[in-house]
Amino acid sequence: MNDHQDQPPGPLAGVTVLDLTTMLAGPYATLLLAGLGARVIKIENPDNPDPSRSNSLFLGRDGVKAAPEHDDDLSLAILDRGRNKEAITLNLKHPEARAIFLDLVRRADVVVENYSQGVTERLGIDHASCRAVNSALVYTSISGFGADADPRLGKAVDIVIQAMSGLMMTSGAEGEAPVRVGIPIGDQAAPLFATIGTLAAVLQARATGQGQHVDVSLLGTLGALVAAEPFGMAHKLGRATRTGEVLPRMAPSGVFPTADGHIAISAPKDVFAAGVFRAMGCPELIQDTRFGSLAARVRNHAALHEMVGAWTRSLDTAAVAALLADCGVPNGPVRDPVEALRHQDLLRRGDTVHLEHPRYGAVEEVVAGGMPIHMSDAFTGFDKPAVTLGASNGDVYGGLLGYGREELDRLRREGVI
């Protein structure tokens, strides 16, 4: 386990977050808050905890396995998303639970939830209920289609959001089948925006004393990112909206095969294009009327990209990269994710990290996302491993709320916590 006794506090020290979320989109938002130093209290139903706890794969005393075998085997999912969070149990369907939850709300700055529509109202823990006991509270909801969505839109999951946002029809080439992106970007965009909205609302609450409801959707956030490219206009002007591994409008730009892999090259400016031609050993091509300006290169992109590809195929990736670097051309090797995430370019900064088991420590072979935000005078990152279900009940119910041991025993006995 890391030991960071001397480190400065995180930038969100003093911010308390109640985390009602499950699965990926919600827990990733609260993970970011935790990695910036907020106190995040994850609240789980004792009989029906976050399904992330039972996602295959698992880590325990004897390494990684597909199915859990021991009490202290924990899923990689919870070991990742549970870092730097406390974990308490509370059965929100129990008649006593709402009062306890509102007790926590009185001491919190933020609630984050990703329940299905109508659930928080049914449980009496919706924004209105919470605001009634804490007017400075920021209450953030992450949903598939928005807090006000037509219920007929149904349940949103990553692959459905990738489909409906248009993302799947931006990769690949015209006429090809849709392309699913291999990371859950439909589940990742929303927590990033939710975290931004939450922090902006906390800033306003600190200034005015008034909190509010923050509402982001999976479809809206990924859609806003897809809209960064003017697909509609490209289409109207008769340009392809899907161009595969090359970018004709920035020629020469694209991903090209080498003798032992692939390399990405981006050289839309004349100075970079001239560098590509020098690296290829054909410096005169920048004088060629077909390739002397971006407009000319865009017109002749097919021929140009074929020439570049023929050259890259004749050399190893490292050789192509060295020649391009000498000529000042932006380029980079295509890495497999297994290799990429363990590369020193990422590990050295803590942008990726080795996951830790609370009892068995870090496992060299298990790499997860770190906190890719670095600060000169505050600690950011994950220095506490995830904990087991309810492990923080004593700290939170005893410490934060001041409940006595007998009361805690009774609540446990009666299935409230």
Of 232 and 404, CB closest to a second copy:
232
Nearest approach, Cβ of 303 to a second copy (angstroms)? 20
**Residue 194: count of CB within 10 angstroms of its CB:** 28
Nearest approach, Cβ of 410 to a second copy (angstroms)? 35
- The site string for a second copy over 81-100 (x = CB under 8 A, - otherwise) reads --------------------
The answer to whether 255 contacts a second copy (rule: CB under 8 A) is yes
Q: What is the chain's Cα-based Rg?
A: 26
166, burial (CB in 10 Å: exposed 0-12, middle 13-18, buried 19+): middle
Binding-site member from 102, 119, 123, 196 for a second copy (CB under 8 A)? 196
List of residues 6+ apart from 113 with CB closer than 8 A: 20, 21, 26, 120, 125, 139, 140, 141, 142
User: 2 to 31, contacts with a second copy by CB under 8 A?
Assistant: 10-15, 24, 28
User: 286 to 345, contacts with a second copy by CB under 8 A?
Assistant: 325, 328, 330-343, 345
Nearest approach, Cβ of 290 to a second copy (angstroms)? 19
Secondary structure of residue 160 in the 3-state scheme: helix
Binding-site member from 99, 133, 233, 310 for a second copy (CB under 8 A)? 233
- What is the Cα–Cα distance from 110 to 172, expressed in whole angstroms? 41
The answer to whether 199 contacts a second copy (rule: CB under 8 A) is yes
Binding segment for a second copy (CB under 8 A), chosen from 170-178, 274-282, 299-307, 405-413, is 170-178
**Residue 55: count of CB within 10 angstroms of its CB:** 16
The answer to whether 154 contacts a second copy (rule: CB under 8 A) is yes
Please give the span between the terminal C-alpha atoms of the chain, in angstroms, as a whole number: 28
- Only one residue has tokens 């935790």, namely 34
* Contact present, 89 and 44 (Cβ < 8 Å): yes
Of 188 and 392, CB closest to a second copy:
188
The answer to whether 200 contacts a second copy (rule: CB under 8 A) is yes
Nearest approach, Cβ of 89 to a second copy (angstroms)? 23
The answer to whether 43 contacts a second copy (rule: CB under 8 A) is no
The answer to whether 370 contacts a second copy (rule: CB under 8 A) is yes
State the number of binding residues for a second copy (CB under 8 A).
145
Of 47 and 66, CB closest to a second copy:
66
- What is the Cα–Cα distance from 54 to 48, expressed in whole angstroms? 11
The answer to whether 283 contacts a second copy (rule: CB under 8 A) is no
**Helical (H) or strand (E) element with 368:** strand 361-369
Dihedral pair phi/psi, residue 80, rounded to 5°: -80, -60
Instruction: Read off the tokens for 241.
Output: 């909206």
The answer to whether 166 contacts a second copy (rule: CB under 8 A) is yes
The answer to whether 223 contacts a second copy (rule: CB under 8 A) is yes
**Residue 401: count of CB within 10 angstroms of its CB:** 14
Of 153 and 391, CB closest to a second copy:
153
